[in-house]
Amino acid sequence: MSRKYFGTDGVRGPYGSATMNEDFAWRLGAAAGAWLREQGTAPDSLVVIGRDTRASGAALVQALADGLVSAGVRPQSLGIVPTPAVSLAVRQRSAALGVVVTASHNPAADNGIKFFGANGIKLTDAQEERIESLLPDARPGTATHPLPVVDGKADYLASIRSGLPLNLQGWRIVLDTANGATVATSATILRDAGAELFTLGAEPNGRNINQDVGSEHPEKLCAAVRSHGAKIGVAHDGDGDRCVLCDEQGVVLDGDEILTLLALHALRQGRLVANTLVVTVQSNLGVEAAVSAAGGKVVRSPVGDRYVIERMLAEGAHLGGESSGHVICADVCPTGDGLVAALKVIEVMIATGQPLSILRRGLTKFPQQSQAIRVKDKKPLGSLKQLPAAIASLEQELGAQGRVLVRYSGTEPKLRLLVEGPTDAVVSAGMARLRQAAAAELDIC
């Protein structure tokens, strides 16, 4: 059996669709509660729930909580908090499960639900598959139950302050919180540390999360860094588990550059645990070249931050992430945290006295292009002819000088293409061949 509803990061879709509405949220809550009881969890066990700023979030949280109550567990709302705050709350409050109602970087019209186990780490594929198998056929009525609400921000802020105590007096920082879940957390941490803060995406209204702001749209961040003379710009996605940074010259850094910068500094200090950095198959080959040259090791996982975390646990590593900006610093938080990633980079800037434009030079990227093609249907790649043939031909031509990655997004109706090679011209030509082959066999929107 394969998962029908869960993707690489929970269940996600347009609010009001067959798999993202109050009835489905109730059913998913009931199934998750049944799974907990199946695991031997005690009756009345605590489940903590957080959400981002989407207008649909409150109704979905209530329906999810009602489903959990029907299965004999005790839900508690953390309010609007970033995803990593839920991960930490599971541990801090000894909860049996954590749930976040969010669609991350997706538009406001979407929403989603993702789970954290009792260790604060996202559930495995097998666990999600089992929850799906326990979904009841229908929601029996629409009765609601009182949902206790606690301040989920306080414990999270205390944990960040104790884990990364920084003095940012004299620092100018631009912060873009994507009109999302980090509006009341990241700004508080940075201001309390003494930074002079300039904010973007800090006026959520339920409908504007990720709208032309945040990690998916860093253009305004870069312009603001230049205009204010800031040392760094930080942009989160809607739920705050990732970040994109901008150096003092107004140039964006992606996750690969952040991870390489952190790994190289840790190696120089003799503090890269297991001498290992975990990245995904999406990350640039230049990451391996830089870390290996410094005496470290890079291992890869499938795309998805929970797969990165699984590999980190297997390797005994504490640092890993994705090129998209998910960065996991396991010494501070068990899941991706955009604020922690930014603070870790600032910590390196303070320790070395070097600006971000210099520190980023530790990574020399191989020429790379990536594209996302929206498709009407995700036809199995194995059932196609022209696209697999184009992939095989290009891989043979590139040999050890490059690589090709073709996969469907786990959260959106998109085919993702990636080509790396020795020159920009080779990469561009290879990408054109893949696009042509994909267009010949898939219904492209």
Residues 6 or more apart whose CB falls under 8 angstroms from that of 270 comprise none
Instruction: Report, in angstroms and rounded to the nearest whole number, the Rg of the chain calculated over CA atoms.
Output: 22
Decide if 104 is catalytic: yes
Q: Which of 56, 70, 77, 104 is catalytic?
A: 104
Long-range contacts of 345-352 (CB under 8 A, 24+ apart): 345/232, 345/245, 345/258, 345/261, 345/262, 346/166, 346/168, 346/171, 346/232, 347/164, 347/166, 348/261, 348/262, 348/265, 349/231, 349/232, 350/166, 351/265, 352/265
**What distance in Å separates the CA atoms of residue 205 and residue 198, rounded to the nearest whole number?**
20
Residues 6 or more apart whose CB falls under 8 angstroms from that of 182 comprise 82, 236, 240, 338, 339
**What distance in Å separates the CA atoms of residue 10 and residue 48, rounded to the nearest whole number?**
16
Order of all β-strands in the sheet with 252-253? 196-200, 172-176, 232-236, 243-246, 252-253
Tokens 């690489």 correspond to 8
The number of angstroms, rounded, from the C-alpha of 242 to the middle of its chain's C-alpha atoms is 5
The residues assigned a catalytic role are 104
